[in-house]
């Protein structure tokens, strides 16, 4: 729900902050005080188009900020899609700043975003009905979802079954399309796969050979350095050509000396054993060095062959994978794909059979969905008719128009997530006039009452948490006005409702009342919004009833209306 709305520098509003509550919130005040400007500001923060003319005279920018309390599941997909941050307590902070130069700065929970993202999120938060165009019921594509929600469990069970078959149907069709494809594209793909497979197979790669080749290449490139180290080390450790005893001889001589004293002390015996171990290890090292030295051979042809082989491997790695393992994996995948394309007749026949079976199931379920929607449409039309009668719109007709599009194009039916139906709500507001799409209704006040009737019926299934009704009292009074107030009260049991009105019958139903006024201060006209307590509410309703001269009779009448409203709400 909308918890707080802050507006700065819009039209005659200098700075206004409004704290809103649960249930029915009603804004009243004299004409021109700025009630509609508040709705314009709300539209702005929801991502709707704004005019620079809205910016207060003498100011270079305007700012609107809104704080919502919202459940994660209502916006989770949008937050994930656009990388927005979510507050754990469910607080959602939205702001929009627009300047005289036309620049917009939008933020959601502190993160800068675009106007289009603001609009998408805003459509999940608030529905505004009145003289503005942010009405979810005007989006024809959503009518089928609303009708299905109204229809109940039987249709929804059918729809879940349909969706499962539809997804499988799409998967099978995609597989078939990939197998068939364009004939020329298919041949090109075969040629590419054959070339790639042949290129990898001709290389005759051996697992682990790349590392061996790199070691061999490094040894050949550094042949002289390696030979110098091996020869020098061998001479130092065990060479009779050098003057004096070598390292191995010296260790062996020391070992012989310790053999003569080992019996005198355990420590001497222990040192003798350690010298023996060193002698054996060093002798082994000397042998290995000699073997490496004698086995070293520099062959420039071998180096050239090694480099050529590594170039072949590196060339394949650039095309098919970063490692030999990845190249082998690509070879298998390419071979499997080639076999599938070349030998796909059996697979194609199997997929065609599956598509035929699934299409038959989809068509049968689609017909059942159509039947259930027709039943639901009849019930919805009757209920809406009663609502129109209550609202003194007895000549208004409503129809949930259902089309069953079972015709085939290129031998195929055009299934979608809802089967083969298209649903559109149609309205006729005057006797003898033909039914027209809901979006063609021109009158703001009339449209708002139509929306109110629809919302009353759909109140328990509509998922948008906050609804705004802007001056839906235009052209009504008496009993019709009373019914409008009651319906707003009914909707507010499951939604937060904000209503701008001039009618006492609506104001008395409010859970929270606000008085919008304008004052002259320091030569400037400024809008103020005051939250009314019980006494203030009574005086405001009396003002609406009797005008500027509030008498005891109007106050008594106002109190009576408030008490009657409270009695109605208890029911």
Q: Within a domain: residue 7?
A: yes
Task: Dig out the tokens for 317 from the structure.
Answer: 């790695």
For residue 159 the two structure tokens come to: 């729809």
Task: Kindly give, in sequence order, each residue whose CB lies less than 8 Å from that of residue 387, ignoring residues fewer than 6 positions away.
Answer: 452, 453, 454, 456, 457, 487
**Residue 351 token pair:** 């997929």
Query: Is the same domain home to 5 and 98?
Result: yes
Q: Express each pLDDT in 141-166 by its tens digit.
A: 888 988 998 888 899 999 999 999 99
* Domain total of the chain: 2
For residues 374, 375, 381, 386, the Cα torsion angle rounded to the nearest 10 degrees is 180
Whether 290 maps to a domain, the answer reads yes
Phi–psi pair at 256, nearest 5 degrees: -65, -40
In a domain, 145, yes or no: no
CA-nearest of 440, 438, 439, 491 to 468 is 491
Name the pLDDT band for 530 (thresholds 50, 70, 90): very high
Last residue of a domain, which of 301, 322, 337? 337
Residue 381 has pLDDT above 60, yes or no: yes
Q: How far apart are the first and last CA of the chain?
A: 24
**Residue 134's pLDDT is what?**
44
100 and 214 in a single domain? The answer is: no
Cβ(119)–Cβ(48) under 8 Å? yes
62/96 Cα distance (integer angstroms):
8
Are 119 and 15 members of one domain?
yes
Tokens of 424: 């559109």
| Residues 239-285 pLDDT 10s | 655 545 577 777 787 888 788 887 887 888 888 888 888 888 888 88
Give Cα 297 distance to the centre of its chain.
Answer: 65
| Position with higher pLDDT, 391 vs 63 | 63
Tell me the C-alpha to C-alpha distance, in Å, between residue 480 and each of 118, 188, 267, 388, 537: 36, 72, 115, 10, 22
Indicate the pLDDT class of residue 135, thresholds 50, 70 and 90: low
- The b/e string for 181-200 (b: 16+ C-beta within 10 A; e otherwise) is eeeeeeeebeeebeebbeeb
Higher pLDDT, 543 or 346: 543
Shared domain check, 213 and 120:
no
Place of tokens 């994660």: 72
Closest CA to 538 of 555, 517, 515, 551: 555
**Which of 337, 370, 392 is at the close of a domain?**
337
Q: Read off the tokens for 9.
A: 């520098």
Of the given ranges (91-95, 218-222, 398-402, 565-569), which has the lowest mean pLDDT? Answer: 218-222
CA atoms within 13 A on the CB side of 509: 28
Domain holding 19: CATH number?
3.40.50.300
Asked if the structure places residue 566 within a domain, the reply is: no
Q: Residue 133 above 60 pLDDT?
A: no
List pLDDT tens digits, range 45-60.
Answer: 999 888 888 899 888 9
> Token digits for 234?
């061998």
pLDDT at 230 over 70: yes
Q: Please answer whether residues 136 and 13 qualify as being in contact, where contact means their C-beta atoms are separated by less than 8 angstroms.
A: no
Mean pLDDT (the chain, rounded): 86
Q: What would the mean pLDDT of 286-295 be, rounded to a whole number?
A: 78
- Containing structural domain, residue 30: 1-130+462-532
pTM for the model stands at 0.62
Please indicate, yes or no, if residue 374 is contained in any of the structural domains.
Answer: no
**Residue where one domain finishes, among candidates 311, 337, 363:** 337
Q: What is the mean pLDDT of residues 504-511?
A: 94
The answer to whether the CB of 8 falls within 8 A of the CB of 66 is: no
Q: Does residue 355 carry a pLDDT above 60? A: yes
Q: Is 274 part of a structural domain of the chain?
A: yes
- Estimate to the nearest angstrom the gap between the alpha carbon of 468 and the chain centroid: 25
Find the range with the poorest average confidence among 90-99, 163-172, 312-321, 351-360: 312-321
Tell me whether residue 256 is in a domain: yes
Give the pLDDT score at 132: 44
DSSP letters along 80-124, please? Answer: HHHT----TT-EEEEEEEEETTS-EEEEETTEEE-HHHHHHHHHH
Report percent pLDDT > 70 for the chain.
Answer: 94
* pLDDT at position 510: 95
Which of 177-181, 188-192, 200-204 shows the lowest per-residue confidence on average (mean pLDDT)? 177-181
Residue 153 within a domain: no
Q: Would you give the DSSP letter of residue 22?
A: S
In the predicted model, what is the mean pLDDT of residues 117-128? 90
């Amino acid at each position: 729900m909308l918890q707080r709305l802050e507006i700065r520098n819009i039209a005659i509003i200098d700075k206004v902050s409004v704290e809103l509550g649960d249930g029915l919130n009603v804004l009243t005040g004299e004409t021109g005080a700025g009630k509609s400007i508040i709705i314009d500001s709300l539209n702005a923060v929801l991502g709707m188009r704004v005019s620079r003319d809205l910016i207060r005279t003498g100011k270079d920018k305007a700012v609107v900020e809104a704080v919502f309390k919202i459940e994660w599941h209502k916006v989770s997909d949008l937050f994930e899609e656009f990388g927005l941050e979510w507050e754990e307590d469910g607080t959602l902070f939205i702001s929009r700043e627009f300047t005289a130069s036309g620049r917009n700065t939008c933020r959601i929970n502190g993160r800068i975003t675009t106007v289009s993202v603001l609009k998408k999120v805003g459509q999940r938060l608030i529905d505004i009905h009145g003289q503005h165009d942010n009405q979810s019921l005007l989006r024809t594509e959503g009518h089928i979802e609303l009708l299905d929600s109204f229809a109940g469990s039987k249709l929804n069970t059918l729809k879940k079954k349909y969706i499962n078959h539809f997804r499988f149907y799409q998967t099978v069709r995609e597989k078939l399309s990939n197998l068939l494809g364009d004939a020329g594209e298919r041949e090109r793909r075969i040629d590419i796969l054959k070339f790639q497979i042949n290129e990898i197979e001709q290389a005759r790669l051996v697992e682990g050979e790349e590392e061996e080749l790199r070691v061999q290449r490094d040894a050949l490139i550094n042949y002289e350095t390696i030979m110098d180290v091996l020869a020098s080390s061998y001479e130092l450790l065990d060479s009779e050509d050098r003057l004096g005893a070598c390292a191995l001889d010296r260790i062996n001589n020391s070992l012989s000396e310790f053999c003569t004293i080992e019996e005198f002390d355990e420590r001497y015996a222990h040192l003798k054993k350690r010298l023996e171990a060193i002698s054996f290890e060093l002798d082994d090292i000397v042998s290995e060095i000699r073997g490496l030295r004698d086995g070293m051979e520099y062959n420039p042809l071998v180096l050239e062959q090694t480099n050529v082989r590594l170039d072949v491997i590196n060339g394949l790695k650039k095309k098919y994978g970063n490692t030999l393992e990845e190249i082998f994996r690509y070879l298998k995948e390419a071979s499997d794909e080639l076999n599938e394309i070349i030998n796909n007749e059996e697979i194609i026949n199997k997929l065609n059979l599956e598509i035929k079976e699934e299409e038959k199931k989809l068509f049968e379920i689609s017909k059942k969905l159509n039947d259930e929607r027709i039943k639901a449409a009849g019930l919805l039309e009757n209920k809406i008719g009663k609502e129109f009668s209550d609202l003194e719109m007895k000549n208004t007709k409503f129809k949930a128009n259902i089309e069953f599009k079972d015709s085939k194009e290129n031998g195929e039916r055009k299934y979608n997530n809802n089967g083969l139906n298209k649903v559109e709500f149609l309205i006729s507001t005057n006797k003898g006039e033909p039914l027209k799409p809901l979006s063609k209704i021109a009158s703001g006040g009339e449209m708002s009452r139509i929306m109110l009737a629809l919302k009353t019926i759909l109140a328990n299934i509509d998922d948008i948490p906050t609804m705004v009704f802007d001056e839906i009292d235009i052209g009504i009074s008496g009993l019709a006005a009373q019914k409008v107030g009651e319906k707003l009260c009914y909707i507010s049991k499951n939604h937060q409702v904000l209503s701008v009105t001039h009618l006492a019958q609506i104001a008395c139903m409010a859970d929270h009342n606000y008085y919008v006024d304008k004052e002259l201060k320091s030569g400037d006209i400024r809008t103020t919004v005051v939250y009314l307590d019980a006494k203030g509410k009574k005086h405001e309703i009396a003002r609406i009833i009797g005008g500027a001269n509030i008498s005891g009779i109007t106050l008594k009448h106002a109190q009576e209306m408030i008490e009657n409203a409270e009695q109605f709400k208890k029911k």
